[in-house]
Structure 1
Amino acid sequence: MNKSSIKKYALMLRLMGIFKIPMIGYVRPRLQNITDEEVVVKIKLCRRTKNHLKSMYFGSLAVGADVTAGLHAFYFCDELNVKPSFAFKGMKAEFLKRAETDIVFTCTEGLVIREQVLKAIQTNERQNHWVKVTAKDLNGEVVALFEMEISVKIK
């Protein structure tokens, strides 16, 4: 993915946080990379994202997982020139250790999400699928594992 495409989706993420989902705007996730296979998003540990234990609040971690899994659906719908109706139906989270640094979220299930979008286009029905998101601290240690149930329908 070239830098102009990353900038395009980073701007889309920022605008979504301003106009559609204020919690995303408050947490300020930053898109690091987006390809057909992978999305990488970073959330800084700061006053906005910290809890009383000086680690990342679990709500901030949930925003990171949400954005990381969701960006692929928008990416493929944009690539295929269709408008999605997109939501999360479920979420499972396992918090392994306190997130005491900035956190990097990674989802490597882009091709699976692409297949769900294509299936939604073909069937004109809502498609649901569980995808995994990993949250790591700056030392590369896994702090949380998420499973997000993506629900996609094409308008």
Structure 2
Amino acid sequence: MLSPLTKANLYLNFFGFFKVPFIWLARPKILHLDNERVEVKIPIRRRTKNHLNSMYFGVLAVGADVAGGFMAMSKAQDSGRKVSLAFKAVEGQFLKRPEADVHFICEDGKQIDQMLQRTFDTGERVNEAVKITAICPSLHGDEPMAEFYLTLSLKRKGD
């Protein structure tokens, strides 16, 4: 029997390979997933580095996308109801060069639950920003390397 985390990583790899190949190329791994928090790691390697030997800006965006989007997708699937999910806007601040494996953390599970409930109740599109923090624990502990605010857009399907 596979653990929920193993299943989540298999789904993420499948989704990346078949739906969004750039996600698959970055090789994200879900380290933690519960009702309130998700933590995703992207390793620093040749294909994820820039010319300054820090994580490439586009890969940082992939990590933020996966951390914010996976929790919402997982919660929508668990509800048994169909939801259209997209990001409508992104704001990012790059605070320090991430020169090691980067962990992307989103702790907005309760907010996403409320968003899903509103779209299920009303059928209306719900747009709210979720926060994703990028850290390099092996070099700087919990000090943020970057912070992202992605506007998550949810709408009940079938309307």
Q: How does the TM-score come out when normalised to structure 1?
A: 0.95
The 3-state SS of whatever aligns with 1:48 is: helix
- 1:103 partner letter: V
Aligned twin of 2:80? 81
Aligned twin of 1:108? 107
Aligned counterpart for 1:150 among listed residues 140, 149, 152: 152
> 5+ residue gaps in structure 1?
none
Moved over 2 A (4+): none
Aligned twin of 1:52? 51
- Equivalence map 1:36-75=2 (5 Å): 36-75=35-74
Aligned twin of 2:6? 7
In the alignment, structure 1 residue 128 sits paired with structure 2 residue 127:
yes
Aligned residues between the structures: 153
The 3-state SS of whatever aligns with 2:46 is: coil
The 3-state SS of whatever aligns with 1:101 is: coil
In the alignment, structure 1 residue 137 sits paired with structure 2 residue 136:
yes
1:22 deviates by 0.9
- 2:150 partner letter: M
Name the CA distance, whole Å, in 2 between partners of 1:64 and 1:84: 22
In the alignment, structure 1 residue 94 sits paired with structure 2 residue 89:
no
Name the CA distance, whole Å, in 1 between partners of 2:82 and 2:52: 41
- 2:129 partner letter: W
1:51-108, Cα deviation, whole Å (9 max, x unpaired): 0111000100000000000011111112210122110000000000101000011000
Aligned twin of 1:19? 18
Q: Tell me whether 8-17 or 41-50 shows the greater mean CA deviation.
A: 8-17
> 5+ residue gaps in structure 2?
none
Name the CA distance, whole Å, in 2 between partners of 1:9 and 1:83: 18
Name the CA distance, whole Å, in 1 between partners of 2:83 and 2:7: 18
1:8 deviates by 1.6
1:46 deviates by 0.3
Name the CA distance, whole Å, in 2 between partners of 1:60 and 1:67: 11
